[in-house]
Homo-oligomer: A and B are copies of this chain.
Amino acid sequence: MGYRAPVADFRFLFDNVVGFDAVAATDRFAEATPDTVDAILTEAGRMCEEVLAPLQREGDLHPATLENGVVRTSPGFDRGYRAIAEGGWVSISADPDHGGMGLPLTLTTAVNEMLGSACLALQLNPLMTQGQIEALEHHASDEIRALYLPKLVSGEWCGTMNLTEPQAGSDVGALRSKAEPNGDGSYAITGQKIYISWGDNDFAANVCHLVLARLPDAPPGTKGISLFLVPKFLPDETGEPGQRNDLKAVSLEHKTGLHGSPTCVMQYDGATGWLIGPEQGGMAAMFTMMNNARLGVGVQGISVAEAATQKALAYALERRQGRAPVENGTGTIFDHADVRRMLMVMKAETAAARAIALANAVAIDMGNATGEADWKARAALLTPITKAYGTDTGILVAETGVQVHGGMGYIEETGAAQYARDVRVTAIYEGTNGIQAMDLVGRKMADGGEAAHRLLDEVEAAAEAARGTLPELAQAVWDAAETLRETTEALAALPPADRFGVAVPFLRAFARVLGAHYLLKGAVAEGGTGDRTALAAFHIRRLLPDHLSLCAQARQGNDGLYDMTPEALAV
């Protein structure tokens, strides 16, 4: 039993839960007709099932290696990459002027989820390229765009992000890489970057690095950072890969998982690059890329959650153990109450995270299509929630999948443990989940919590509308939204630094309430009876109560947090 793409679920969510109809009704996305959406989801889903899913174990068993300065990728990854590129799945949302389909990011988000379920390590490659395309579309000169975008959009070339240095991780402003003008409009880039996902590969004709560096005399901190495009091969006069640039992967990290994705230490020795965006404007340009990447990484968590749930369900339906605890059951451990509870948790958490991610993508699409500030604020608010909750969900669900497998879950051959090892990094890269939570209670609440309250208005209105169909569940969601609203107000009244100690529980509470909201919408859409209603009831009765303890924690602020000394925290 391999991975099966949840195409019908995406269709249901588009139509009934996340408001995709509004996106399709805009001029900008008029092409996103039901037929087009159907065709893309079905076609991409089939490719994921047939071509990518068989590569998942290969990446783990045969990690990428570095040979003579060149990365050799896992068996079959070249074939998988070509299938992604040829399907056009790198660039569903890219500008048609450069060969993209110009379709909503919501559609890209659904397809990215399927790609990641099938083979997370390989999916990370086009995810990076998508971010680079977005950054170049917004910030690069016409010349750069004309030269690079068609190659990136077609998947002929691919892209990476180079931010981190040994002393500059979460604090990107501490980076030291230098860029010196060559006098011909280009720059010489020098420095070392670490944790560069897909820093090199052997299946794309060129690898284009977006590198953060400092110009001479740049001010310290993030204000002095500029962004440069630094290709592995310098384009020749025909635009094809020419001379080798002065950069290379010098080592690969030995990671807990995601072995199919080469994580490189990159060395730049006066490599030729071109400025993207204004001087000292690197952070703004990088944020274009990072916001999409954060949504994309959140979706990676959901990818793994979906795949791990399918695997655990298949195992539970095969494994016979113990006397049948229910009449007319399957005769497998699927009938056992605690196993069923675990599977329901997996299903409910995955469904909640997926709906939040798609609603996030809809907000980005609406912001792009209408230019309205409210949509942009909604997208900005949801992005850290999608990233942190999506990846936390991936980890929780994959670990629960291991538990469903019992002893077999700890044995690598089943692949259950690989999901847990692979997904673990998603809570760390693209900004740790702690950084996401600080973004939520800091920058994203700099409006005093206005965007949060507008979203809670919507949650409460939907709960009101659900009262006729599912009164008990509607009341529970409404109450939870009120509790979260009060907590949001309490938090907004604190100085930002005093919110940081409870940022993580606050983000989790927000995700809990949003998840319940979207599941309730789905239940109402099916008329208040059926499988979506059963799942919503499970979530609202058993998982949503979490928000009480999370909100209680959030209201503590930083009180007492610093009372223990390092000496006391040690033995």
Contacts and interface: CB of A to CB of B under 8 A. Distances in A.
Contacts of A320: 167
B170 A340 contact: no
A215 to B, nearest CB: 22
Interface residues of A, number: 101
Given A500-B325, A553-B545, A313 B411 contact: no
Interface string A553-565: 1001011111111
Contacts of A8: 571
Contacts of A164: 407
A350 B48 CA distance: 42
Interface stretch (A103-111, A241-249, A292-300, A331-339): A331-339
A347 B567 CA distance: 12
A171 to B, nearest CB: 4
Nearest to A6: B571
Contacts of A432: 403, 406
Nearest to A546: B549
Contact of A565 (B421, B424, B503, B531): B531
B421 A406 contact: no
Interface in A285-311: 309-310
A interface, over-half SS: helix
A50 interface: no
A337 B428 contact: no
A409 interface: yes
Nearest to A558: B337
A409 B428 contact: yes
Interface stretch (A77-85, A250-258, A361-369, A451-459): A250-258
Interface in A391-423: 395, 399, 402-403, 406-407, 409-413, 417, 420-421
A570 B321 contact: no
User: Which one of A171, A409, A561 has the greatest number of beta carbons of chain B within 10 Å?
Assistant: A561
A25 B502 CA distance: 45
Assembly stoichiometry (copies): 2
A373 interface: no
Interface stretch (A269-277, A484-492, A534-542): A534-542
A343 interface: yes
B402 A424 contact: yes
A340 B563 CA distance: 10
Nearest to A432: B406
Contacts of A501: 337-338, 340-341
A537 B561 CA distance: 10
Given A195-B407, A534-B568, A541-B553, 16 more contacts: A9-B571, A164-B407, A167-B320, A171-B321, A171-B322, A254-B412, A257-B410, A330-B566, A341-B502, A347-B564, A406-B432, A410-B425, A542-B553, A545-B553, A547-B549, A549-B549
Interface of A: 4-9, 164, 167, 169-171, 174, 194-195, 253-257, 309-310, 313, 317, 320-323, 325-326, 330, 334, 336-344, 347, 395, 399, 402-403, 406-407, 409-413, 417, 420-421, 424-425, 427-429, 432-434, 437-438, 497, 500-505, 531, 534-535, 537-538, 541-543, 545-549, 552-553, 556, 558-566, 568-571
